[in-house]
Amino acid sequence: MADSGVDTSNESSDNPIFDHSHCIFEFNPPAIPINLSGQAIPLDYFDGRHDHIGKIKCITKARHCRLKYGCGSRRNKRLRVAASTNNVELVETLLLSGADPNSSDEHKRSPLHLAACWGYVDVVKTLLKHGANPNIKDSLGNTPLHLAACTNHIPVVIALLDAGTDVSSNDRHGRNPLQLAQSKLKHIRMRSTGHSSEGTKQVINEICLVVEMMLKYMKIQKADSGDLESLRERLERVSTREQVDTEVQNLLDSLDSLKLR
């Protein structure tokens, strides 16, 4: 961002007079961005704007002062747009060219917030690989985990749990993986998917994903996961929708009795 005003390190003056004949402009050009193949990316790829700073030094009658001039960049904004549109390749390219994975918009939403909210698990993993903070909060106190849980994106929740997300962090209206699991299982139980073999397998796969998420969550919470391990083994042997429904109800009953921190 551009510096607002003058650096007043010595005595001040209300009306400094600049001697332009003694002004010096210092410019530090940006590093040349490189793509995944090791080739230089044309500068106009980033709309001709780059993260670098120019400094103007002048001598005034009041004091020696320094004005700092910042050349605005759209790279971080482009990263947030790419993250929110599931453009994994562009996300990777922008991160490698120096975009900040923890930059945020006016609502303090980072690229990770946006990708987590939409359920873009590959973008989430790419951002985490490049140093995105899984515990960063937006202006409402939401972490990416809260947004992923509220929007029912279990694969994203799993990726965030693997990255070390603080599961005890609270927002104003956030949900945790336990609440997400309960909501998802109730939806599975109520949903009509037919009794075909293909439909039953789809339901089992969804339940297994919920179980995987819960196992990771309970490991972080240091809770006993014996019942979930047994359920995962039983799901491998069921073949009918009635058996699946029974296991879903058993899992819901066990989740209701969990005493997690």
Amino acid at 233: E
Q: Is the pLDDT reported for residue 255 higher than 80?
A: no
Q: Is the pLDDT reported for residue 8 higher than 70?
A: no
Q: Which two tokens stand for residue 219?
A: 């490991």
DSSP 180-246: HHHHHHHHHHHS---S-HHHHHHHHHHHHHHHHHHHHHHHHTT---HHHHHHHHHHTT--SHHHHHH
Q: For residue 227, which of 254, 206, 200 has the smallest C-alpha distance? A: 254
pLDDT tens digits along 132-170: 999 999 998 899 999 999 888 999 999 999 999 988 877
| Non-local CB neighbours of 41 within 8 Å, separated by 6+ positions | 32, 33, 34, 35, 93, 97
pLDDT tens digits along 108-127: 999 999 999 999 999 999 99
Window from 65-69, 168-172, 249-253 with minimum mean pLDDT: 65-69
pLDDT tens digits along 197-207: 557 788 888 88
Mean pLDDT computed over every residue of the chain: 75
**Contact assessment for residue 167 and residue 179, using Cβ atoms and an 8 Å cutoff:** no
**Contact assessment for residue 248 and residue 194, using Cβ atoms and an 8 Å cutoff:** no
Q: Is the pLDDT reported for residue 56 higher than 70?
A: no
Q: Is the pLDDT reported for residue 237 higher than 90?
A: no
Full-model pTM: 0.66
